[in-house]
Amino acid sequence: MMTASQEDYLKSIYILILHKNEARVTDIADYLQVSKASVNRALKSLKELGLVDYETYGEIKLTEKGKEEATNIIKKHNVLKAFLIQILNVNNETAEEEAKKMEEQLRKQSFDLNDYLAQLRQVKKMGSFSSILKMIPGMGQIKNLKVDDNEFNRIEAIICSMTAKERRNPKLLNGSRRLRIAKGSGTTVQEINKFMQTFETTQKMMKKIKSGKGMRNMMKNLNMNDLKDFKM
């Protein structure tokens, strides 16, 4: 799996070739505002992954594998950005930054309750909880789906009432632990159970998006024609 930095370099090469018909070390350094030495180190790692072909001081070309990977990276970024703009109604600049944060989260091998809480706090200031739930596979089929935005506060209280170990490994949450969390968060065990079902659904969605399988479901709910005006 590529690092965030490697993805940025691969994407920049793709965009430069698309707009300038070529990509060189100087072009990439200017585009990403990094040193030429950093670019050369990145190119070496990308070449080892079989994503680029290049010779020192020469033109940089993407392999077929590199083109495919770059296309997938850009497509994923654009889908996330469209989600933020169209569903959460955030502006283009904010959507760009938040999409990058979401991409970083998707690169992780696991998705636990710490991650859920971090994302919850990110979207808390951007839109309604109902809008978020509608994007979860299956939830959009529920008619008149409405959720009190105070749900944000309840979920935050539930997660914060868990131990660090429980947040990392939700499978530890047996009956007695859920009762303790309910008392600590001012909620009920039933509310804990309902939240955990939502969290498990979100975990499955994240796994699908990581593999690329979930992108089609998200795209069905978005107007991808709007992406033509997006800046990379």
Assigned CATH class of 4-62: mainly alpha
Give the pLDDT confidence of 50-69 residue by residue, as tens digits: 999 998 788 999 999 999 99
Give the pLDDT confidence of 146-168 residue by residue, as tens digits: 556 677 889 999 999 999 999 99
Is residue 55 within 8 A of residue 63, CB to CB? The reply is no
- Give the model's pLDDT for residue 187: 94
Which residues, given as ranges, of the chain have pLDDT below 50?
136-143, 145, 224-232
Q: What fold does the segment set 73-227 form as a domain?
A: 434 Repressor (Amino-terminal Domain) (1.10.260)
Asked whether the whole model's pTM tops 0.85, one would answer no
Q: Where are the domains of the chain?
A: 4-62, 73-227
Backbone angles phi, psi at 57, to 5 degrees: 70, 5
Average predicted confidence (pLDDT) for the chain: 80
